[in-house]
């Protein structure tokens, strides 16, 4: 999800949006072509992030640990996929072969195995690799070694286990550098797993700007991913982990607000069609400080526009911040559940 350092991207958004729109319209398919070529459908349709668990320094640090009953609840509610963010950089050696921690592998196995047994797909994601973003020349080889080990460890798993190379590259991980690293890791995975679905996140914190600047590899089992938290002042109001904290009280929900999302999604869909690859909205959500009715309206609007554009989607998150489930009451936050799942 969006953390420190994103504010500087908001300043240039209007200029970037105009340039990107012109570039996209010039290079995308014609109207006639798009009418005859159906966009590719991602294998992930309705997904929930098991957030704030394994991407913390240790499970439970941020107030949530993955429970079997949570996975049961998601399967029964109608989700088809869970995304499992893991801070693998905290559980890998710092030199040599960068060996992965066996206890973390065993814990990840436990969650993946149980979710697959409940007929859920699982996205295994490398999350919060801060050092890579700040010093890529020192850490790109380490991430490649992490994925070499993960690919070997899960080689026998069905293709309902999906790999996601990296979450929200940013700072020194430019679009060009991110593309290059993505392609190298895909090549390593393909040596033993030619049919595994692989999700590629894009630079600029996984935003639309980053997506439209990316150059994905030629591979028919690639899913492009982007994240959406616009307008940031609304979705992150009161989120104290972000500095300066957007003030509580920002409203959202008139026709112009919805039109802005629709315009952004049209640009993403055009990029998807240009590359003929499935597109996943890998994160979207509103921090808990916003009124629940406005949270639900924004979430519902994003979800319906994603489905109208044939994007798969993955809500952030379950029962930590940005939550859709109240673990204290052991109950769904009903307006959020309905926004995600009801027709």
Q: Which residues are catalytic?
A: 168, 283
Distance CA 146, CA 210 (A): 24
The candidate with the shortest Cα–Cα distance to 183, out of 218, 151, 224, is: 218
Residue 106's φ and ψ, nearest 5 degrees, are -65, -40
Measured in degrees and rounded to the nearest 5, phi and psi for residue 329 equal -95, -5
* Cα distance between residue 215 and residue 176, in whole Å: 8
Query: Is the preceding peptide bond at 231 cis, omega within 30 degrees of 0?
Result: yes
C-alpha to C-alpha distance for 39 and 269, rounded to whole angstroms: 9
SS3 percent helix, strand, coil of the chain, rounded to 5, is: 45, 15, 45
Ordered alpha helix ranges (H), 91-241: 102-117, 130-134, 136-153, 175-190, 208-212, 232-235
Query: 298: helix, coil or strand?
Result: helix
CA proximity to 226, closest of 203, 196, 256: 203
For residues 50 and 1, give the distance between their C-alpha atoms in angstroms, rounded to a whole number.
12
CB 124 within 8 A of CB 84: yes
Q: How many CB atoms sit inside 10 A of residue 67's CB? A: 16
- Report the C-alpha gap between 49 and 184 in whole angstroms: 26
- Strand 222-228 relative to strand 81-86, pairing: unpaired
């Amino acid at each position: 999800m969006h953390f420190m350092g994103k504010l500087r991207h908001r300043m240039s958004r209007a200029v970037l949006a105009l340039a990107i729109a012109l570039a996209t319209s010039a290079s995308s398919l014609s109207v006639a072509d798009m009418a005859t070529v159906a966009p590719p459908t991602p294998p992930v349709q309705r997904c929930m992030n098991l957030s704030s668990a394994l991407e913390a320094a240790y499970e439970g640090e941020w107030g949530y640990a993955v429970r079997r009953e949570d996975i049961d609840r998601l399967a029964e509610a109608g989700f088809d996929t869970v995304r499992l963010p893991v801070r693998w950089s905290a559980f890998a050696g710092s030199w040599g072969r960068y060996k992965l921690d066996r206890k973390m592998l065993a814990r990840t196995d436990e969650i993946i195995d149980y979710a697959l047994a409940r007929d859920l797909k699982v996205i295994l994601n490398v999350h919060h690799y801060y050092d890579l973003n700040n010093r890529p020349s020192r850490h790109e080889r380490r991430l490649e070694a992490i994925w070499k080990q993960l690919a070997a460890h899960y080689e026998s798993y069905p293709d309902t286990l999906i790999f996601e190379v990296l979450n929200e590259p940013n700072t020194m991980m430019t679009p060009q550098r991110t593309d290059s690293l993505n392609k190298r890791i895909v090549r390593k995975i393909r040596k033993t797993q030619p049919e595994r679905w692989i999700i590629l996140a894009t630079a600029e914190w996984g935003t639309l700007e980053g997506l439209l600047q990316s150059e994905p590899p030629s591979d028919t089992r690639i899913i492009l991913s982007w994240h959406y938290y616009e307008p940031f002042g609304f979705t992150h109001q009161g989120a104290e982990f972000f500095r300066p904290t957007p003030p509580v009280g920002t409203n959202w929900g008139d026709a112009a607000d919805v039109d802005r999302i629709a315009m952004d999604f049209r640009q993403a869909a055009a990029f998807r069609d240009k590359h003929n690859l499935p597109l996943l909205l890998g994160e979207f959500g509103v921090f808990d400080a916003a009124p629940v009715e406005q949270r639900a309206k924004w979430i519902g609007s994003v979800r319906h526009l994603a489905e109208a554009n044939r994007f798969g989607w993955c809500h952030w998150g379950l029962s930590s911040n940005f939550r859709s489930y109240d673990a204290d009451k052991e109950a769904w936050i009903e307006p959020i559940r309905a926004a995600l799942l009801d027709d």
